[in-house]
């Protein structure tokens, strides 16, 4: 089955700097890659997603890149703000698996003012 590895487990940046979180996946059939932000005690919330037919997607300060050949994808947050502090999870899914998501272990991002 699918396995998703995520790095780093913790990341601390200064406000205004960029943050990059990387994930690798094992199942070449995976075709949907969402990123979730989870604040303490709250539900995971989708912040951006990408499909395997796209190499890059951007939404304001957030971007995701996908390298299908290498089976890795990354989240880029520019101009970080203190409210970006949270745990970020990457996930992978194959439509053949009925859409269930396999999550990475998460990255705790701390943005220092």
Partner 1 sequence: EPEVTQTPSHQVTQMGQEVILRCVPISNHLYFYWYRQILGQKVEFLVSFYNNEISEKSEIFDDQFSVERPDGSNFTLKIRSTKLEDSAMYFCASGSFLGTEAFFGQGTRLTVV
List residues near partner 1 by CB under 8 A.
31-32, 34, 36, 42-46, 49, 89, 91, 93-95, 97-106
CB closer to partner 1, 22 vs 32: 32
Identity of the residue, 80 or 106, whose beta carbon is nearer to partner 1 in the bound complex? 106
Separation CA 54–CA 12 (nearest Å) = 29
**Given the DSSP bridges, would you call strands 86-92 and 102-103 parallel, antiparallel or unpaired?**
antiparallel
Shortest Cβ distance from residue 34 to partner 1 (Å)? Answer: 7
> Minimum CB separation from partner 1 for residue 61, in Å?
20
CA-to-CA dists, residue 13 to 18, 64, 65, 83, angstroms = 7, 19, 20, 12
* Tokens 């705790």 -> residue: 108
Q: Smallest distance from the beta carbon of 4 to partner 1, in angstroms?
A: 9
């Amino acid at each position: 089955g699918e396995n998703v590895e995520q790095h780093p487990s913790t990341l601390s940046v200064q406000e205004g700097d960029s943050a990059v979180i990387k994930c690798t996946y094992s199942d070449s059939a995976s075709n949907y890659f969402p990123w979730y932000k989870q604040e303490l005690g709250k539900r995971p919330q989708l912040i951006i997603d990408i499909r395997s037919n796209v190499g890059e997607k951007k939404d304001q300060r957030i971007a995701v890149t996908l390298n299908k050949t290498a089976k890795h994808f990354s989240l880029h947050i520019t101009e970080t703000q203190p409210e970006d502090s949270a745990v970020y999870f990457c996930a992978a899914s194959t439509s053949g698996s009925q859409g269930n998501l396999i999550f990475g272990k998460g990255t705790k991002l701390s943005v220092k003012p």
